[in-house]
Amino acid sequence: MQALYDVPAPAKLNLFLHITGRRADGYHLLQSVFMLVDWCDTLHFERRADGLISREDLSMALPEVDLSVRAARALQAATGCSEGAHISILKRVPAQAGMGGGSSDAATTLLALNRLWGLNLPRHALAKIGLQLGADVPFFLCGHNAWVEGIGETITPLEKAHQLPQASFVIVKPAAGLETKEIFSSPSLKRDSDSATILGFAAAHFDFGRNDLQPVAQALCPDVSQAIAWLSDRGLKGRMTGSGSAVFAQMSHAVDLSGAPEGWQVKACENLMIHPLAGWASGEI
């Protein structure tokens, strides 16, 4: 196998996000449900025999060393693999949105190159590499929507009785973005939410809890409030995902999504029951 084409990297939404504490090293403890949606980047991978990692941007320009390049190099370093790869990325998931686009690209890169290079690493080994790249990467490797705790490293797949129902959503990404570090460093961030349970979440699903980062984000970025108001005008209850600035709402009926301000991205999405590449690695996280 010399190449893998049209490999998807789906985005995620945080159905809720509670900050339950803070460790001595400064990392925040959280609880959240991460849900995959069908807003995807598309990546292509071609083997290089010279061991080099190169990247081509097929849409928007990315940083010279983005998470996909870092993931490829981390996989080389962890395995001693002498193969290289040329990665082409068609970027659709917006940056600074709280949708995990870069982390998803990294996870897809690890899964694809694990296959392209014939490494056959199990999922837990890929997750160990992924955690060094970002706290969200192991989630995208787990293959399922998940209950996430700790600093993001404790992942419980939502399967069988706890599987999320199929649903439709609208995601609104206003023109402005948000830096995660700026939100988490705010002295006004709520850091003492009570612990929740999967059973409590399962009783409400898409109406459960809140996003503790949202009040700080709204103070830093008025676009977040404007996007929530835009959804409210259409009878939809909006909430920010992750550290923003994208907001989302469940849609139970057809809604007119036209008329968004210039520079905003508005997309109707479906949630995914499993990651499109769920079968590309074996073993538990």
Q: What is the CATH number of the domain that holds 253?
A: 3.30.70.890
* Residue 32 vs residues 147, 252, 255, 277: alpha-carbon distances, Å: 6, 23, 27, 22
Tell me: the pLDDT tens digits for 127-167? 999 999 998 999 999 999 999 999 888 999 999 889 999 99
Work out how many domains the chain is built from and give that number: 2
Closest CA to 83 of 58, 110, 50, 106: 50
pLDDT at 236: 97
pLDDT at 161: 87
pLDDT at 1: 60
pLDDT at 282: 86
Same domain, 60 and 89: yes
Q: Is 105 a catalytic residue?
A: no
Distance (Å, whole) CA 107 – CA 101: 10
Looking at the chain, the whole-number percentage of residues with pLDDT higher than 90 is: 91
Domain interval for residue 76: 3-160
Out of 128, 160, 192, a domain closes at: 160
Closest CA to 183 of 210, 224, 213: 213
Q: Which whole number is the average pLDDT over 110-129?
A: 97
Tell me: the pLDDT tens digits for 239-249? 999 998 999 99
pLDDT at 171: 98
- Please check the confidence at residue 285 and state whether its pLDDT lies above 80: no
Q: Is 12 a catalytic residue?
A: yes
Q: Taking a C-beta distance cutoff of 8 angstroms, is the pair 215, 18 a contact?
A: no
Q: Which whole number is the average pLDDT over 82-88?
A: 98
Distance (Å, whole) CA 279 – CA 257: 35
Residue 279, domain member (yes or no)? no
Same domain, 51 and 153: yes
Residue 281, domain member (yes or no)? no
Same domain, 49 and 124: yes
Same domain, 169 and 133: no
Looking at the chain, the whole-number percentage of residues with pLDDT higher than 70 is: 100
Out of 160, 179, 201, a domain closes at: 160
Residue 276, domain member (yes or no)? no
Q: Mean pLDDT of all residues in the chain?
A: 96
Distance (Å, whole) CA 213 – CA 141: 25
The secondary structure element, H or E, covering residue 35 is strand 28-48
Q: Taking a C-beta distance cutoff of 8 angstroms, is the pair 271, 282 a contact?
A: no
Out of 137, 160, 183, a domain closes at: 160
Tell me: the pLDDT tens digits for 255-283? 999 999 999 999 999 999 999 999 999 88
Q: Which whole number is the average pLDDT over 214-221?
A: 97
Match 């991460």 to its residue by tokens. Answer: 34
| CA 142-146-152 angle, 5° bins | 80
pLDDT at 152: 86
Tell me: the pLDDT tens digits for 51-81? 999 999 999 889 889 999 999 999 999 999 9
Catalytic residue among 66, 105, 136, 212: 136
The residues, any chain, with a CB within 8 Å of residue 117's CB and separated by 6 or more, are 47, 75, 79, 81, 83, 85
- Please check the confidence at residue 186 and state whether its pLDDT lies above 90: yes
